[in-house]
Amino acid sequence: MSGKFNWNELMTDDINRAKAFYGQALGWTFELFPMPDGEYWIAKAADGTPTAGLMPMDPEDKESQPGWLSYVQVEDLEGRLNAVRSGGGNVLQEPLDIPNVGRIAVVEDSSGAVLGFMMTATAPPTA
């Protein structure tokens, strides 16, 4: 259903430390999700349900800080991106296809807040 939050990602400068922290704090387990261009971990709740993704930050990026990014489900990604632009926002990451997951983009609203849009292939990623 369009307009609902459906995925969260943590970008971190230390994947192992993040996995240890969230494993201890929330009881999450982690499974490597195959990606052609890097490392991506699926965090799973105690019942095995995929709940979030973890990915390393670019070590060359000295300006960004570790943090969470939430994604909202959309049915028409291009249409939503046009609405962002006409509403005074910006597209920070143009649409990107993730095999077996769907298509994502990252936007900035008119106040500068960042949000991901996801048009899933079927459902949020599972490992």
Question: Region 46-61: what's the mean pLDDT?
Answer: 93
pTM equals: 0.84
| pLDDT of 126 strictly over 60 | no
**Domain housing 59:** 5-120
Strand 50-56's sheet: what is its strand order?
29-32, 41-44, 50-56, 5-12, 67-73, 114-120, 102-108, 90-98
HSE value, Cβ hemisphere, 13 Å, CA-based, for 106: 11
Domain membership flag for residue 90: yes
Percentage of the chain lying above the pLDDT 90 cut: 76
Residue 67 lies in a domain: yes
96: pLDDT confidence band, cut at 50, 70 and 90?
very high
Helix then strand then coil, in percent of the chain rounded to 5, is 15, 40, 40
Residue 5 has pLDDT above 70, yes or no: yes
Looking at residue 36, its pLDDT comes to 78
* Count of domains for the chain: 1
CATH number of the structural domain spanning residue 13? 3.10.180.10
